Amino acid sequence: METQLNKTVWFMRLLNGVQELGNRLPHPTALFFYLCLLMLLTSFLAHALGVTVTHPNTNEIILANSLLSSDGLRYLLTHSIQNFTQFAPLGAVLVAMLGIGLADRSGFLNALMRATVQHTRTGWLSYGVVCGGVLSNLAADAGYVVYIPLCAMVFLGAGRHPLAGIAAAFAGVSGGYSANLIVGPADVILSGLTQEAGRLLTPDLVVLPTNNYWFLCASTVLIVFIGGFITDYLVEPFLRSTPSPLAQVNTKTNTNTKETTHPDPTSSRALRLALGSVALYGLCIALAAWPQNSPLRHPDTHNLLQSPLISGIVIVIAVGFAIAGMVYGRSTGVFRHSADWVEALESTFKQLASYLVLMFFAAQFVAWFNWSQLGPILAIQGARQLAATGIPPVGLLIGVVLITAILNLFIGSASAKWALLAPIFVPLLMQLGIDPNWTQIAYRVGDSSTNIITPLMPYFALVLGFAQQHDPQIQFGRLIAMMLPYTLGFLLLWIALLITWWIFGLPLGV
């Protein structure tokens, strides 16, 4: 017992150290500004030193581009606005917040969270949040934009630390990206890239989207239990041991302004009407998508996985929240006139001001890094270093996991990274007798595990913004310290599951 306590104290000290080190970094917005300046210098030096790499598939020589060259300066001038407006999280967040803002300001979310907490066993709350995060991957960006902030409110309503709710949801949505019970768009994209890479050696190779299905199902169970356990026994105790004076930790000690300004925000009748309207809305969407020739399906394959419905799911969800908010607000009298709900929308966007400033510099840095070609150079060189080690097959799979986990700190997109790595890893391991399906799942394990600790992942800044709504003083250091236990737990135990699967020769999929 004493040994276990000592281990816990040691781990808390480690997280405190990570937090203190990270908090010495500048303000998140300033940090991305400085990273942009660093990227200007790094790209210039890499180009001046002639840093190159040969693409394994096309034999094209990739040269590091300098942002301070003539082409680079032209790029900076002509693409800065585009980099910002087309930044992946930006549009999704703004559209989603239109609906969520109405739902929040009407009091609907507050009432819904209270009802949810009353019917949820507190002991299983963390596990349920992580599980919901994993399953939310089917809804693309909605997991980040909608699910994570809602889970903070669920934890707050249960008298638990809201940042722990954010951490658990983030771990499920992003750390559990390569775990699910249903085949999703990511499976289709990655399997297609694996198939093309494998056909460099075997022209008739077929890799199905279900090629990793059984392993992904087992991974879902693993991620849920690891994530729930870490939330309850490591992350939330850490957050409570180092509280922020501005953090909203306990609903009993915080004043909820909605309760004092909204007439009867917990009205069961208004809540039933709002939920009923959302259910009717969902039924209409389902009926509209049911016919094979529905405009909500893919125009050629009539598939739902790659359909306008899935690609536009954030808009669908935003409309659902808006309907619930309007019905609830009208029923309780919060939205008596059009000026009331317009003011709610304006107030929501006012809260996003700091987020928009942060997103501008984050978008520039990510775009500049991609244009400099430093990402592909790092990926290809890392893969070649692994190929030169000469270690046994299962060791090579672990090497794929680790190299991917490291590269994920610099290249956020799973499909873009695999497009670079698959032509190297897949043929290489095929020649050593390793099936492409194993190579792909090793890549996915590494890609998911470090998603939650890299500030270069586009949605990392978004999660930080959500956390600042509950703790305005939170910085990168505290957020990384929150998520580090998940990364370590996922990476170690996921590798253990991969090795076990390999030793017993279990089927990866169908």
| Single-letter amino acid code for the residue at 90 | L
pLDDT over threshold 90, residue 401: yes
Distance CA 111, CA 65 (A): 53
pLDDT tens per residue, range 437-487: 999 999 999 999 988 888 777 788 889 888 988 888 888 788 888 999 999
Name the average pLDDT for the chain.
81
| Strand partners of residue 53 | 62
pLDDT tens per residue, range 276-286: 998 999 899 98
Question: What pLDDT does residue 477 have?
Answer: 81
Distance CA 405, CA 451 (A): 8
The DSSP code sequence of 234-270 is: IIHHHHHHS--TT----GGGS--HHHHHSSSTT-HHH
pLDDT over threshold 60, residue 253: no
What three-state secondary structure class fits 461? helix
Distance CA 317, CA 315 (A): 5
Question: What pLDDT does residue 263 have?
Answer: 41
- Count of positions (residues) in the chain: 510
Q: Where are the alpha helices (DSSP H) in 372-475?
A: 374-387, 393-407, 414-431, 436-449, 458-468
Question: What pLDDT does residue 350 have?
Answer: 79
The model's confidence at residue 254, banded by pLDDT at 50, 70 and 90, is: very low
Closest by alpha carbon to 241, among 185, 306, 161? 161
Closest by alpha carbon to 103, among 277, 266, 344, 284? 344
pLDDT tens per residue, range 13-25: 666 676 666 666 6
pLDDT tens per residue, range 306-325: 678 777 777 887 888 899 98
Task: Summarize the confidence of residues 250-275 as an average pLDDT.
Answer: 56
Q: For residues 411 and 378, is the Cβ–Cβ distance under 8 A? A: yes
Task: Summarize the confidence of residues 388-416 as an average pLDDT.
Answer: 81
Question: What pLDDT does residue 156 have?
Answer: 85
Question: What pLDDT does residue 114 have?
Answer: 63
Q: Where are the alpha helices (DSSP H) in 140-299?
A: 142, 148-157, 162-170, 185-198, 213-230, 236-241, 257-261, 268-289
Question: What pLDDT does residue 250 have?
Answer: 46
The model's confidence at residue 133, banded by pLDDT at 50, 70 and 90, is: confident
pLDDT tens per residue, range 411-428: 766 776 787 678 778 877
The DSSP code sequence of 17-64 is: HHHHHHHTS--HHHHHHHHHHHHHHHHHHHHHTT-EEE-TTT-PEEEP
The model's confidence at residue 497, banded by pLDDT at 50, 70 and 90, is: very high
What are the φ and ψ backbone dihedral angles of 285, each rounded to 5 degrees?
Answer: -65, -45
